[in-house]
Each structure stands twice: as structure tokens, then as C-alpha cells.
Structure 1
């Protein structure tokens, strides 16, 4: 299994052309729903393998110590979990924990906005499935930083190449995209 196999699944299951209104309110000729691929057992395994290889290379080349991986629910959840599971299976000594960021703090219990394996002081990778403007990734970054987390870099499955990468990098957070609009299409 390879990046070409994951690309084929993304193109078959997740990429649609036509006229669409995006979460940002912008109209686009392209709609990408990565959840369909990320929730497919083969797609999830490929995301785990390819994502972990890319993350591990970045960690090693930059000498990073990463505690956890996660992002805004729901798009980031299956991607983060697939990569975390692959890290545990392939490199138990380098395993990274997984968390999720709620859109709003929970209205009961401990009132947390970040759930799972995250604690103040952790250095994390923030994940998103698709970036267009970068808005949802930046919202996750704000929540993580407000909870005392440090962002090493952002990992996205697909960069639509519509300014999101630049908006995230303007915050001083490098973006690692597994695919971009131009490499996917």
C-alpha cells in the first residue's frame, strides 16, 4: 500500500466537482470530504501508515519531542487516531497519544474543550482533514494554546491551496500537507 493507493481512495470516495458552498461560506468547484476516506478501514490504515511516516520523518529531522496528536472534532479524529495507532504498532518507544478538540467547551462535567490524552505543557501536532481558509485549524490551535499546549506543526490530509496554509504559517506554525489540490487532481 502506498500514497498512490490513498490518493486513489480519496479521489474515489472524497473528492467531488461541481458547485459547492464551503464551511467558510465561499463557493467552490471542488468539495473534499475526507471523513469518507478516513472512516474507511483501508483508507484509515493508509492514513495511519503514510501519516505516521511523514510525522516521524519530521520529528526525527527536526529533533522534536511530541506528546500527542489531535485537532478539531470531527475531521481530525479518525486521522489522529490512525496515526497514533500506527505509531504504537510500529514504534512503541515513540508512540504519540491522541486527543480531540471540541468546537465548544463541554457544558457539563469538567467543562473541558480538549478530550483524551492531552495535558498542559504537552507539545502536540494539530491535525485537520482539509484546509481552505485555515479557520477550523486556527480554532483548534487557539484552544490548545489556551489549555497550555505547544504546537510543533500542523498536519493536514489535503491543502486546498486557498490561503489556509499561509494563515496557519502566519501564526508561526509550519504546515505539513500529505496532499494538495494540485497533487491530488
Structure 2
């Protein structure tokens, strides 16, 4: 949805910097950075995101909303509240103290769970959350994110895990909006597209 892409650019939840790339936690250089937690500070944007999330799912097919810790928790909780559904969240790993929970909240065996994620890159955080839910004896009906980089590795990882994921807006839509608004020149847009096809090769090139 271009409306979401435009909003993310406007509030700088997604920023583009092909000439002075960001450094991801993995160490890779990237011309794009996404922090959808910023949307929580903008009530109108936050409202639009929840409205679109509601329209993207079929409530009768979902029993529980699950947020991935930590970025998927707030939007997941807001969505669950809007739908009147139970909410849980899934840690990246089990706690090392107390009950050692990885899943926080009440999750019944056989419950149909929708996983909410803020961002899809490789998809592994969402996939790990889904696996934890499956191991608990429940069902994962899908993964829903706000934004996806549309990296080739994402589809490979999802297919290997036998899972599906969707996002409200994508890298392709965001780049189209950026081009229409003249945010980047032609060379910068081409650089972003090259990154999207092979982030590691792009990173190696700019650091060599």
C-alpha cells in the first residue's frame, strides 16, 4: 500500500541513504534503515496501520494475535485490542530465569495464531517465533508485517519453514514513492535496487 509507504517516509520510520550507508547489527552496510517503532509516536499513522492490519486478516480464522519481541509487540497488542482477541508475545529465546518462558501469555493447544512483525528482512525472527508457537501445540495461520525489504532470502527461508508472510507495504512500493516524490536521483535509486537484489554483495562493494 503506497499510503503506508508514503507515511513511513514522511515520518522517517524508513530512511534512505545510499551515499552514506547505515551499518546493520550484522555488520552489513545498507542504504536503507527501517524503524517502525517511530509510527507509535504518530497517532494518525498508527491508526492507519492498525486499520489496514484489520482489513488484511479474517478475524474468524484467528484465535490469538502474537507479537514478536520486541518490535512486533505494540502493533500486535493494538491489533488484538481492536479485534477483541487474546494477545501473546514471543521472545527470541526462552528466559534464563523464572519459568523460562519463551511465549508470554496464555496460549491454548490448537489455537490459530497470527504473528505480527514490524519488519521482514530475512524473516528469521518471525520464523523462530512461529516455530515456538508450533512447538507449543498451536497453529500459525500466517505472518503479517508492516514493511518488507522483499529480499530474495526471505522467500527461501519462508518456503523452507513452510510458512507464509505478507506486509502492508514493500520495498518496491517505497522506492516507487521515493522516485515519484524526487527524494532520490536515478543513480541512488539504481543503487537501492542493486542492494535489494544482493545486500551482501552491495555491502562488500561499498566497503572495499
Distance across 2 between alignment mates of 1:128 and 1:158: 9
Local SS of the residue matching 2:163: coil
Structure 1 residue 132 and structure 2 residue 134: aligned?
no
Paired position in structure 2 for 1:43: 45
> For the structure 1 residues 24 and 72, does the alpha-carbon distance in structure 2 shift closer, same or farther, using more than 3 Å as the test?
farther
Question: Which is greater in Rg?
Answer: 2
What is the root-mean-square deviation of aligned Cα atoms in Å?
2.1
Which shows bigger deviation, 76-85 or 169-178? 169-178
Local SS of the residue matching 1:148: coil
Structure 1 residue 175 and structure 2 residue 171: aligned?
no
Cα offset for 1:39?
Answer: 4.7
Structure 1: tracts of 5 or more residues without a match: 89-95
TM-score (norm 1): 0.81
Structure 1 residue 21 and structure 2 residue 4: aligned?
no
Cα offset for 1:137?
Answer: 1.1
Which one of 68, 71, 77 corresponds to residue 81 of structure 1? 77
Distance across 2 between alignment mates of 1:117 and 1:41: 29
Cα offset for 1:34?
Answer: 0.8
Cα offset for 1:24?
Answer: 4.2
Paired position in structure 2 for 1:93: none
TM-score (norm 2): 0.73
Cα offset for 1:111?
Answer: 1.8
> For the structure 1 residues 133 and 26, does the alpha-carbon distance in structure 2 shift closer, same or farther, using more than 3 Å as the test?
farther
Structure 1 residue 104 and structure 2 residue 106: aligned?
no
Which one of 106, 111, 116 corresponds to residue 122 of structure 1? 111
Report how many residues are paired.
170
Cα offset for 1:132?
Answer: 1.0
